[in-house]
Amino acid sequence: MPEHDVLIIGAGLAGQRAALAAAEKGASVGIMSKVHPVRSHSVAAAGGINAAISVDDDWHSHAYDTVKGSDFLGDQDAIEVMCSEAPAEVMHLEHIGVTFHRNDKGEMDLRAFGGASMKRTAYVADITGQALLHVLYEQLMKHHETVARYEEWFTTSLLRDEEGRCAGAIARDVRSGRMEAFTAKNVILACGGAGQAYKPTTNGLIVTGDGIAMAYRAGAPLMDMEMVQYHPTCLVETGILITEGARGEGAHLLNANGERFMEKSAPNKMELASRDVVSRAEQIEINEGRGVGPDGAGIYLDVTVVPRKRTLEALREIVNLGKDFAGVDITREPIMIRPGQHYIMGGVKTDIEGRTPIEGLYAAGEVACVSVHGGNRLGANSLLDTLIFGRRSGEHAAARAAGIPMPTVNANAQLREDSTQLEAIIGRSRDGRRVSEIKSELGETMNKQVAVFRDEEGLQNALETIGRLKEEAGKAWIDDRGTVFNQDVLGALELGYMVDCAEATVVAALERKESRGAQFRTDFPERNDAEWLKHIEISLNADDRASGPQVSYSPVTITQWQPEERKY
C-alpha cells in the first residue's frame, strides 16, 4: 500500500503549488489527478492573477476591494493573508519562469479587472492559467525523488482512522481499472469546483465536485454553497467564456437599443463593476425585452472599441474562440454573450492554513471555502487563492507530518466497498435512465432555478427534482463494461458527486432569506445584515447520511472593514 506524508488529490494550480511547498519542506508527497496534471481545469484560466505590485498600489486596497466584492461575507483575516502575500507569490512565479506580459518600459504590465480600484491583474495574454500550470509542472519534476505522481488516478473516497482522522484515500487507476488504498498522514483536497452541476457552464467536463462531495460524505462541513458565480460574458449557445480581460481592455456592453446600460446600475465602474452586479444588470435587460439575438436572449459585447493591434496581442485566445464557436471576428463586430455559470464561491470549510474540521484533512483552491470570496469572487482572485492557500496547506501539512507516525488504518473494508460499488454500476441492467440524461436534467434545473435570480418556489422545485434525480442516479446505467479507461463508470460516480453538491447549494440558497452577492432572492430583494451577516454551513452526519443535509451557521470574521452599502 503506497504511503505518503502528504497525499494531494488534484493537480491543478492549488494541488501543484501544495505539492511543491510540501516537498520543499522535506515531506514525502503523492499527487493524484484523474487527468494528466496539465489538463487540469486551471489550464483554462485566461485573464490573469491579482496582486498589488504596482508602486502606487497597496495590498490594503486590494483587500478592501475583495471585501466589498464579497458583499461583506468574505472572512477578512483570510482576505488579509491572501492580499498581503500576493505580491511575493506573483514575483516568485516570475522568478521560476512565468513569462508575464511586460509593458513598453519592460515592467510587468497590469490590466484592469472587475471590482478593482486600479489596474492590478498580471497576465500572460489570455492564457494565464496555462502559463502558470506548465511552469509549476516543470518545477515539480525537480522533486521527482520525493514527489510521486499518480496521473490518471481517480479518487473514489477518503479514508478515516478509528479516531476519525483522515488517513488516506481509495483510488482507481483509470488506465487499468485497478483499485488501490493509499495511506497518508495528511490529505490535501485540491479537486477544483463543481461547475458541471450546471448546464451550460464555462467549466470543463472534469469539474464535477468530487472533492467537495467526498469531504461532505466524510463529515466535513461545506460553507457558502449558495454563492454561485454567473460570469457576465459567456457565449449564448455554448456557455464558453469570453474573459473579463476583454472588458478590462475597454470593451463595452450594449443592449438592443445600443445603450451602455451599465450606466444605470454602476455609473462609476460601468462594465468593470463586480461580476454579480454586471450579470444581474444584463439579465434585467434580457428579461425586460432589451436583449439582442433571435429570442432577445443575449447582450452585445463590443470589443471593436479596443485597438485591433492590442486585441490581437492581449486577447488572441478569445479572437479564436469568437471565430470558432460563434463565427464572429470580435475585432470587427460585437459578439453576443449572456451570464453563465462560472465559479462556486462555496466549498469545504477551511481555516487560513487550509485545515478542515477533520484532523489530517486539508483543502485548497476552488474545492475549498476559506471564504476569501464570500458572496462574490472578484475576477483574477481565484488563481491567487489557489496559489496562496495551496502553498499554505502544503507547508502546514508537511510540518504536521514531521511530528506524527504513519496512521494505522485497515483500508480493506472500504477498498472492497468502493470496488463493489463500481462493479455494481458496471453490471446494472438497462432499465433506468442513462447517466448523461440525468446529468442534463440536473444542469438545466440548476440553470433555471438556481441562477442569477432565485425565489422560494423555484428553489423548492429544484430541491424536489434533485431528490428524484438522486434516486435515479443510484440506478443509472452505462455502456462500457470494461476496465481499461472506463470513463463511463467514473461518470456515474461523478454524477453522484454533482447531485450532492447541487443539493447542498439549493438547501443553502433556500436558507439564506436575503439578497447578497451572487444570491439574489426576488422574494427577499434586500441585503439584511442584522439577520444574515453569517456563513451558512451544510454538513452530513457521516454515520447517518440518510438523515440528509444539516444546516448550521458561523460568524463572518471582520477585522478592519465594517459592512456598508455597496456601490460601483
* Least distance (Å) between residue 223 CB and ligand FAD: 16
Toward ligand FAD, which CB reaches closer, 41 or 521? 41
Q: How far is the CB of 101 from ligand FAD (least distance, A)?
A: 13
Q: Which single residue brings its beta carbon nearest to ligand FAD?
A: 12
DSSP annotation of 12 reads: S
Our CB check for ligand FAD shows the closer of 39 and 516 to be 39
Q: Which is nearer to ligand FAD, 459 or 492 (CB)?
A: 492
B/e letters for 141-160, b = 16+ CB within 10 Å, e = fewer, are: eebeebbbbbbbbbbbbbbb
Q: Which is nearer to ligand FAD, 35 or 452 (CB)?
A: 35
Give the number of other CB atoms < 10 A from CB of residue 238.
13
Rounded distance between C-alpha atoms, residue 392 and residue 396, angstroms? 6
Alpha-carbon distance of 137 to 75, in angstroms, equals 31
The strands making up 347-349's β-sheet, listed across from edge to edge, are: 368-369, 347-349, 222-223, 534-539, 550-555
DSSP characters over 497-566: HHHHHHHHHHHHHHH--S-BTTBEETTB-S--HHHH-EEEEEE--TT-GGG--EEEEEEPP-SS------
Q: Is 257 in contact with 290 (CB distance < 8 Å)? A: yes
Closer residue to ligand FAD (CB): 239 or 360: 239
Q: Which of 11, 340, 16 lies closest to 195 in space, CA to CA? A: 340
Closest separation in Å from C-beta 307 to ligand FAD: 22
Cell of 428: 446494472
Cα(132)–Cα(248) distance, rounded to whole angstroms?
20
The C-alpha atoms of residue 499 and residue 491 are separated, in whole angstroms, by 12
| In the complex, minimum distance from the CB of residue 214 to ligand FAD, in angstroms, rounded to a whole number | 7
In the complex with ligand FAD, the residue whose CB is nearer, 35 or 73, is 35
SS3 (DSSP) at 87: helix
- Smallest separation (angstroms) from ligand FAD to the CB of 263: 26
In Å, how far from its chain's centre is CA 143? 27
Smallest distance from ligand FAD to CB 364, Å: 7
Q: What is the DSSP letter of 272?
A: G
The question of whether 566 is a catalytic residue gets the answer no
| Element (DSSP H or E) covering residue 170 | strand 166-173
Question: Nearest approach, Cβ of 228 to ligand FAD (angstroms)?
Answer: 13
Nearer to ligand FAD, 338 or 521 (CB): 338
Q: Are 42 and 133 in contact (CB under 8 A)?
A: yes
Residue number with CB closer to ligand FAD (463 or 478): 478
Which residue among 111, 160, 247, 275 is the active-site one? 275
Q: Least Å distance between CB 472 and ligand FAD? A: 21
Please give the torsion angle defined by the CA atoms of residues 105, 107, 108 and 110, in that order, rounded to the nearest 10 degrees.
Answer: -60
Residue 33: C-alpha distances to residues 10, 70, 332, 561 (Å): 5, 30, 41, 39
- Residues in touch with ligand FAD (CB under 6 A): 9-15, 32-35, 37, 40-42, 44-49, 128-129, 154-155, 190-192, 202-203, 206-207, 210-211, 241, 343, 365-367, 380-383, 386
Cell of 389: 492557500
Round to whole Å and give the CA distance between 216 and 220.
5
Active-site annotation, residues:
275
